[in-house]
Amino acid sequence: MACIFCKIIKGEIPSLKLFESEKTLAFLDIGPLSRGHSLIIPKHHGAKLHDIPDDQLAEVLSVTKKIAVAQGVQDYNVLQNNGRIAHQEVDHVHFHLIPKPNETEGLG
């Protein structure tokens, strides 16, 4: 399996993990768009949203919400890309959670 996110799940590639359960893993993005930018993924391998069972998707979204609450961010984007034209680079479904800091807190 050449999938880098499956390798992260197996521990074959290191990551900074924020949360892990039987079905879900959350870890910091290696190229963050802002401080605390994380990725939340189902452990079930599937390239696109429609490849993932509903129960796994439901937990991924729930974990995304919990991390946003735990980070204490008021403003944030949740992004999920499907396919090259839609800017997907890693073919294992992932949700980006991108905190948007208050302007008075400075960049990132």
Q: Which residues are catalytic?
A: 94
Q: Which stretch binds ligand 5GP (CB under 6 A): 29-37, 57-65, 69-77, 98-106?
A: 29-37
Task: Check residue 31 for interaction with ligand 5GP (CB under 6 A).
Answer: yes
Q: How many CB atoms lie within 10 A of CB 98?
A: 18
Of the candidates 45, 28, 33, the one whose C-alpha atom is nearest the C-alpha of residue 90 is: 45
Site string for ligand 5GP, 52-81 (x = CB under 6 A): -----------------------------x
Which of 5, 27, 76, 95 contacts Zn ion by CB under 5 A?
5
Alpha-carbon separation of residue 8 from 11, 34, 41, 54, 83 (angstroms) = 5, 21, 11, 22, 21
Site string for Zn ion, 59-88 (x = CB under 5 A): ------------------------------
What is the identity of the amino acid at 32?
A: P
Of the candidates 68, 70, 56, the one whose C-alpha atom is nearest the C-alpha of residue 24 is: 56
Residues that bind ligand 5GP (CB under 6 A): 4, 13, 15, 27-31, 39, 81, 87-90
